[in-house]
Amino acid sequence: YADALYEALPGGGVLARFGVGYDNINLARATEKGLLCTNTPGVLEDSVAEMTIALILSAARHVPEMNESTRKGGWTPRKGMELRGKRIAVIGCGQIGCSVARIASAGFGMEVIGCEISDVDTEKMKREHGFSLLVKDFAEAVNLADFVTLHIPSIPATHHFINTRRLETIPRKAWLINTSRGTVADETALYDAIESGSLSGAALDVFETEPYVPAEPEKDLRKLPNVILVPHVSSYTEDACRRIAD
């Protein structure tokens, strides 16, 4: 199908990506065929940031488990945690990461630690987005974190960025949230960390293979009760879709 698409369009034709990034476009092939490629940056930040916070709240208050139990006729209250005063590490402080930081700090009174390898105006980031601290080192950013949320692009340098070594630096009490791209996390390493108790849980909107297929059949994230999984919907709101179309 992909080959047919590139062959069907004439030189100078346009592949207009309905979304952000070029994950599903073979840029080398498009260049070879003389095709122009576009996408729609700057339209998804609010939707993705809000979904990130929704996943954090779902994890903090055990919403998925209690919903399932109550629907089955059960009545199993679970003690949750407040977000006020908790520490969140925002990995990748672009537009979405900054939106998450603003909501977490101003809306919930969380302590926000940013991890960003690019040089940024630290004082401006603190003033405008509510960061308490900005660092470049991942281990320093996640130290004492209650939640670690990923907002980094899918590029060769970030493939399996979350691996066994980095997972070992995240506190046992923490939840990992991923609304960026599935390839940035090693799902097998993530399964091992959660199953062993070295990580409290994970809330995932994106996966290395979509629809989700476990990298190793015996390490299926769907089998773990402290994993929340949704089908890549963080940017899928009426509002964001309208902005993309416009």
* pLDDT tens, residue by residue, 71-109: 999 999 999 999 999 999 999 999 999 999 999 999 999
Answer yes or no: are the C-beta atoms of 132 and 140 closer than 8 Å: no
CA-closest candidate to residue 66, choices 51, 81, 78, 79: 78
What mean pLDDT, rounded, does the chain reach? 96
| Residue corresponding to tokens 């980094």 | 152
Is the confidence at residue 1, as pLDDT, over 70?
A: no
Contacts 24+ apart (CB under 8 A), 130-138: 130/101, 130/102, 130/104, 130/105, 130/106, 131/90, 131/93, 131/101, 131/105, 132/105, 134/93, 138/91, 138/166, 138/169
Q: What is the pLDDT of residues 217-243, one digit of tens each?
A: 999 999 999 999 999 999 999 999 999
Confidence at residue 22, expressed as pLDDT on a 0 to 100 scale:
87
Residue 210 is a catalytic residue: yes
pLDDT at residue number 86: 98
7 classed as catalytic: no
Q: Of 87, 181, 187, 208, which residue is the catalytic one?
A: 181
Contacts of 102 (CB under 8 A, 6+ apart): 49, 128, 129, 130
* Of the candidates 241, 234, 242, 245, the residue with the CA atom closest to the CA atom of residue 47: 234
Backbone φ and ψ for 157, nearest 5 degrees, come out as: -70, -20
**For the segment 191-219, what is each residue's pLDDT rounded down to a tens digit?**
999 999 999 999 999 999 999 999 999 99
Check whether 41 has a pLDDT greater than 70.
yes
Give residue-wise pLDDT tens across range 22-34.
888 999 999 999 9
pLDDT at 24: 83
Tell me how far apart the terminal alpha carbons of the chain are, to the nearest angstrom. Answer: 27
Q: Which of 168, 210, 216, 242 is catalytic?
A: 210
Interatomic CA distance for residues 106 and 101, integer angstroms = 8
Q: Tell me, what's the pLDDT at 184?
A: 98
- Express each pLDDT in 134-149 by its tens digit: 999 999 999 999 999 9
The whole-model pTM stands at 0.94
- Looking at residue 202, its pLDDT comes to 98
pLDDT in tens, 104-126: 999 999 999 999 999 999 999 99
* β-pair partners for 185: 162
CA–CA separation, 168 and 187 (whole Å): 14
Residue 76: partners with Cβ closer than 8 Å, 6 or more residues away: 65, 66, 69, 70
Return the pLDDT at 23. 80
Cα–Cα distance, 210 to 121 (Å, whole number): 36
Q: Looking at residue 21, what is its pLDDT?
A: 86
- Which is catalytic among the residues 232, 238, 242, 243? 232
The length of the chain, given as a count of residues:
246
Q: What's the per-residue H, E or C state across 39-88? A: CCCCCCHHHHHHHHHHHHHHHHCCHHHHHHHHHCCCCCCCCCCCCCCCEE
The reply to whether 181 belongs to the active site is: yes
Q: Can you give the pLDDT at residue 90? A: 98
C-beta atoms surrounding 112 within 10 Å: 28
